[in-house]
């Protein structure tokens, strides 16, 4: 049986935590066998306005399961502040799911063939791919709305955050100062 793979083309509004993916594959969580490749923008802390690339690509090998379902954690980057909306909308295409089978026969050299671009670059040249298509009528793109800050409210939020942090720090200092000191008893 040929191994099952999923290839994600992830836009810049999302990121994958490669350390989390490696841990999930160690314990076979979410039907994940292993992370084969993760290329592109992988900075875990960068907000979207500091990402200048297109995003990232991820190829994963999946366990064969009867349900055919798998779960991959994707994370959203901090969205850019907006003048008009308190939500930013991102689109994420479904992954290409396929089986990659080795072949003993040589494939023909076609001058119009674009092999070894995208996920094909991670496989030998004689690999045959058998794609698994979604059910009829299934939409192949998900939309995700993420809350973002309205620029007009940024000053208020900074002020409230400053007050909250100051009060919290003051409360901790007050509690520390009220803690009775420990004294050593003299032994005779």
Given this model, what pLDDT does residue 167 score?
Answer: 97
| 91 and 125 share one domain | yes
| 160 and 138 share one domain | no
| 141 and 161 share one domain | no
Can you tell me the distance from the alpha carbon of 165 to that of 169, in angstroms, rounded to the nearest whole number? 6
Name residues whose C-beta falls within 8 Å of residue 8's C-beta, 6 or more positions apart in sequence: 16, 57, 58, 59, 60, 72, 95
Can you tell me the distance from the alpha carbon of 41 to that of 58, in angstroms, rounded to the nearest whole number? 11
24 part of a folded domain: yes
| 92 and 172 share one domain | no
Output phi, psi for 26, to 5 deg. Answer: -60, -35
Cβ pair 40, 82 in contact under 8 A: no
Tell me the mean pLDDT per 10 residues along the chain, length 188.
90 92 86 89 88 90 82 89 89 91 61 66 84 79 90 88 97 89 60
What the block records as the tokens of 18 is 């490669």
- With CA atoms as reference, report the closest residue to 36 among 8, 1, 78: 8
Given this model, what pLDDT does residue 68 score?
Answer: 74
User: Whole domain around residue 26: which residue ranges?
Assistant: 4-147
Taking phi over 0 as left and psi of -120 to 50 as alpha, with beta for the rest, 8 belongs to beta
| 168 and 125 share one domain | no
Largest CA distance in the chain: 97
What the block records as the tokens of 6 is 């999923």
Predicted structure pTM score: 0.74
Given this model, what pLDDT does residue 118 score?
Answer: 78
| 98 and 112 share one domain | yes
| 90 and 161 share one domain | no
What the block records as the tokens of 163 is 């007050």
What the block records as the tokens of 74 is 């994707």
186 part of a folded domain: no
The structural domain count of the chain equals 2
Given this model, what pLDDT does residue 7 score?
Answer: 94
**Residue that the structure tokens 């836009």 belong to:** 11
Given this model, what pLDDT does residue 6 score?
Answer: 92
| 156 and 143 share one domain | no
Cβ pair 58, 10 in contact under 8 A: yes
| 110 and 159 share one domain | no
């Amino acid at each position: 049986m040929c191994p099952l793979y999923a290839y994600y083309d992830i836009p810049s509004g999302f990121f994958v935590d490669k350390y989390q993916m490696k841990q999930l594959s160690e314990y076979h969580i979410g039907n994940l066998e292993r992370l084969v490749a993760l290329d592109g923008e992988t900075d875990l802390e960068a907000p979207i306005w500091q990402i200048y690339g297109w995003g990232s690509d991820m190829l994963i090998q999946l366990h064969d399961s009867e349900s055919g379902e798998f779960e991959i954690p994707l994370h959203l980057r901090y969205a850019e502040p907006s003048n008009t909306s308190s939500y930013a909308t991102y689109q994420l295409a479904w992954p290409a799911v396929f089986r990659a089978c080795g072949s003993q026969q040589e494939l023909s050299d076609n001058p119009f063939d674009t092999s070894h671009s995208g996920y094909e670059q991670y496989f030998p040249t004689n690999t045959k791919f058998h794609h698994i298509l979604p059910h009829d009528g299934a939409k192949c793109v998900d939309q995700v709305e993420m809350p973002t800050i309205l620029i007009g409210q940024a000053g208020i939020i900074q002020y409230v955050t400053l007050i909250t942090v100051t009060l919290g720090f003051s409360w901790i200092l007050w509690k520390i100062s009220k803690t009775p000191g420990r004294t050593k008893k003299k032994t005779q």
